[in-house]
Amino acid sequence: MKKNKILSRTLLALLVGASAFGAQAADKGFHVGAGVGQSLVDEAGYDDEDTAFSVFGGYQFNRWFGLEGGYADLGKLETNGIGRDIEASSVYLTAVGTVPFTDTFSGYAKAGFQRWDLDTALPGVTGTTDDNGTDPVYGVGLQYRLNDKVALRGEYSRFEVEDADLDLAQLQVRYDF
């Protein structure tokens, strides 16, 4: 009898906690945005930076979780000597976990998969024989909400391209519907 009483109280506490969790999850809906920044590569034969941009859109399910897809133009990667300069881009889909610090300021982490495209394969990088493929993408960022619709974000992402890593540091503007 005592076990049933403890179990029922525990279940009641979980239900009340879950309903409170749902009541606080006010941030939800579709969003779009764009960003500009710097792409970075430091791999065999390549040590370069270039201007890069991205466009993205997604859906925020609650205050803590959303999905985001986008396109990133990583610019032109110039070689350190032998080889050709390479232009890189990526189409990606990520899951985004958000941690609100205040009502207007939050941090987030994202991880998912991307379809990358190079205008030629990366010479000198072990395992890179293709000029396109699918690999992981992940990143972290900070977001500051200017109002209910517009937020500024700073984000650092890593786009894996077989055995090479392309990094992207950017400032973004996000608009919520």
> Which pTM does this prediction carry?
0.75
Report the alpha-carbon distance of residue 45 to residue 110 in Å, rounded: 29
Residue 19, pLDDT score: 40
pLDDT for 108-167, tens place per residue? Answer: 999 999 998 887 766 555 455 557 888 999 999 999 999 989 999 999 999 988 777 889
Q: Which comes out higher in pLDDT, residue 134 or 94? A: 94
Report the alpha-carbon distance of residue 69 to residue 60 in Å, rounded: 12
Q: Burial of 70 by CB count in 10 Å (0-12 exposed, 13-18 middle, 19+ buried)? A: buried
- In order of their start, the domains of the chain are 28-176 (2.40.160.20)
Which DSSP helix (H) or strand (E) runs through 18?
helix 2-24
CA 129 distance to own-chain centroid: 26
For residue 90, is pLDDT > 70?
A: yes
Report the alpha-carbon distance of residue 49 to residue 42 in Å, rounded: 9
Residue 82, pLDDT score: 65
pLDDT for 35-80, tens place per residue? Answer: 999 988 877 666 678 899 999 999 999 999 999 999 999 888 777 6
Q: DSSP of 69-88, one letter per residue?
A: EEEEEEEEE-BSSSS--EEE
Residue 11, pLDDT score: 47
Q: Burial of 174 by CB count in 10 Å (0-12 exposed, 13-18 middle, 19+ buried)? A: buried
